[in-house]
Structure 1
Amino acid sequence: MPTLLSINNYYYRRGGAEVVFLEQNRLFEKVGWRVVPFAMHHPKNIRVPWSKYFVNEIEFGENYSTWEKLARIPKVIYSVEARRKLNQLLNDVAPDISHIHNIYHHISPSVFGVLKQHGVPVVLTLHDLKLACPAYSMFTHDGICERCKKKKLYNIVIHRCVKRSVLLSSIVMVEAILHKLLRSYENNVDRFVVPSLFYLEKMVEWGWERRRFVHIPNFVDVERLRPNFKVGKVFLFYGRLSPEKGIITFIKASALAKVPVRIVGTGPQEDVLRELAARTGADIIFLGYLNGEALFDAVRSARTVVLPSEWYENAPMSVMEAYALGKPVIGARIGGILELIREGETGVTFQNGSVESLAAALRRFADMPDAKLADMGRQGRAWMESDFTAERYRERLLKLYSDIGVIS
Structure 2
Amino acid sequence: MHVVLVVDHAFINGGQAKVALDAGLGLRARGHRVTVFAAVGPADPRLAEAGIRVVCLGQDDIASTKNRFAFAVQAIWNTHAARRLAQELAGLDPADTVVHVHAFAKALSPAIGVSLRASGLPLLYTVHEFFLVCPNGGFYDYPAKAICHRTPMSAACIATNCDARSYPRKLLRVVRHAALDHVAGMRRLFPHIVTISALQEKVIAPHLPATTVFHRVDNPIAVAPVPPRDGPPGDFLFVGRISDEKGAPVFAEAARRAGVRPVFVGDGPAAAELAARYPEAVILGWKDEAAVHALMRQARALVFPSVWYEGQPLTVYEALACGAPVIVSDACAGREAVEDGETGFWFRSGDADALAAHLVRLKDDALAARMSRAAHARYWAAPLTRDNHLDRITAVYDLVLRAAGAAARGRTPHRPAVAALP
- TM-score by length of structure 1 reads 0.88
- On the 8 A contact 1:99/1:124 being kept in 2, the answer is yes
Report the secondary structure of 1:9's partner residue. Answer: strand
Counterpart AA for 2:368: L
| Alignment correspondent of 2:244 | 243
2 CA distance for matches of 1:43 and 1:275? 38
| Alignment correspondent of 2:62 | 60
1 CA distance for matches of 2:140 and 2:359? 26
Shift of the alpha carbon at 1:344? 1.6
- In structure 2, relative to structure 1, the CA distance for the partners of 1:163 and 1:58 (3 Å cut) is farther
Q: Which runs of 5+ in 1 are unaligned?
A: none
Report the secondary structure of 1:89's partner residue. Answer: helix
Matched, 1:24 2:23: yes
- In structure 2, relative to structure 1, the CA distance for the partners of 1:301 and 1:13 (3 Å cut) is farther
Report the secondary structure of 1:170's partner residue. Answer: helix
| Alignment correspondent of 2:129 | 128
2 CA distance for matches of 1:13 and 1:397? 20
Counterpart AA for 1:105: K
- In structure 2, relative to structure 1, the CA distance for the partners of 1:301 and 1:131 (3 Å cut) is same
Report the secondary structure of 2:106's partner residue. Answer: coil
What is the percent sequence identity of the aligned residues? 25
Matched, 1:82 2:78: no
Matched, 1:400 2:396: yes
| Alignment correspondent of 1:118 | 119
| Alignment correspondent of 2:321 | 324
Aligned residues: 395
1 CA distance for matches of 2:34 and 2:53? 13
| Alignment correspondent of 2:412 | none
Shift of the alpha carbon at 1:116? 3.1
- In structure 2, relative to structure 1, the CA distance for the partners of 1:51 and 1:404 (3 Å cut) is closer
- In structure 2, relative to structure 1, the CA distance for the partners of 1:36 and 1:377 (3 Å cut) is farther
- In structure 2, relative to structure 1, the CA distance for the partners of 1:62 and 1:185 (3 Å cut) is same
| Alignment correspondent of 1:232 | 233
Shift of the alpha carbon at 1:190? 2.9
Alignment RMSD: 2.6
- In structure 2, relative to structure 1, the CA distance for the partners of 1:203 and 1:152 (3 Å cut) is same
| Alignment correspondent of 2:376 | 381
Shift of the alpha carbon at 1:307? 0.1
Shift of the alpha carbon at 1:194? 0.7
Q: Which of 274, 291, 296 is residue 293 of structure 2 equivalent to?
A: 296
Shift of the alpha carbon at 1:147? 5.1
Shift of the alpha carbon at 1:267? 1.6
Report the secondary structure of 1:71's partner residue. Answer: helix
| Alignment correspondent of 1:138 | 139
- In structure 2, relative to structure 1, the CA distance for the partners of 1:269 and 1:390 (3 Å cut) is same
| Alignment correspondent of 2:200 | 199
Counterpart AA for 2:183: L
Per mean C-alpha deviation after superposition, the further-off stretch among 360-369 and 45-54 is 45-54
Matched, 1:209 2:196: no
2 CA distance for matches of 1:51 and 1:3? 11
2 CA distance for matches of 1:47 and 1:31? 15
Matched, 1:350 2:352: no
TM alignment of 1:85-104, pairs within 5 A: 85-91=84-90, 96-104=97-105
- On the 8 A contact 2:113/2:184 being kept in 1, the answer is no
Report the secondary structure of 2:350's partner residue. Answer: coil
- On the 8 A contact 1:161/1:169 being kept in 2, the answer is yes
2 CA distance for matches of 1:227 and 1:151? 50
Q: Which runs of 5+ in 2 are unaligned?
A: 406-422
1 CA distance for matches of 2:261 and 2:23? 36
1 CA distance for matches of 2:202 and 2:190? 18
Shift of the alpha carbon at 1:120? 2.4
- TM-score by length of structure 2 reads 0.85
